Structure 1
Amino acid sequence: MINTVMIPRNFAIDEATELREKLIDMIENNKYDFLLDFSNCTFIDSTGLGVLVSVYKRINEHKGSLKLVKLNDNVMKVFKLTRLDKVFEIN
Structure 2
Amino acid sequence: MEIQVRYDDQAREIKVGLDGDLDLNSVNDFKMRMDESIEEYKSGVSIDCSALRYIDSTGLGVLVSILKKVKEYGGTMKILQLKPYLFKIFDVTGLTKVFEIEVA
Smaller-chain TM-score bracket: over 0.9
1:66 pairs with 2:74: no
Higher helix share: 1
Q: Which amino acid aligns with 2:69?
A: R
Percentage of identical aligned residues: 34
CA contact (8 A) 1:4 1:35 kept: yes
Q: Which amino acid aligns with 1:90?
A: I
Match of 1:29 in 2: 40
Deviations 1:16-68 (A, max 9, x none): 11110000001111332111000001110001001000010011111011000
CA contact (8 A) 1:10 1:44 kept: yes
The correspondence for 2:94, drawn from 67, 83, 86, is 83
Question: Aligned-residue CA RMSD in angstroms?
Answer: 1.0
Structure-2-length-normalised TM-score: 0.83
Structure 1 residue 80: deviation in Å? 0.4
Ranges in structure 2 where 5+ consecutive residues have no aligned partner? 1-11
Q: Which amino acid aligns with 1:64?
A: G
Q: How many residues align?
A: 91
Higher strand share: 2
Ranges in structure 1 where 5+ consecutive residues have no aligned partner? none
Q: Which amino acid aligns with 1:16?
A: V
Q: Which amino acid aligns with 1:30?
A: Y
Bigger relative CO (Cα 8 Å, ≥ 6 apart): 1
Q: Which amino acid aligns with 1:25?
A: E
> Which portions of structure 1, spanning 4 or more consecutive aligned residues, are displaced by more than 2 angstroms?
none
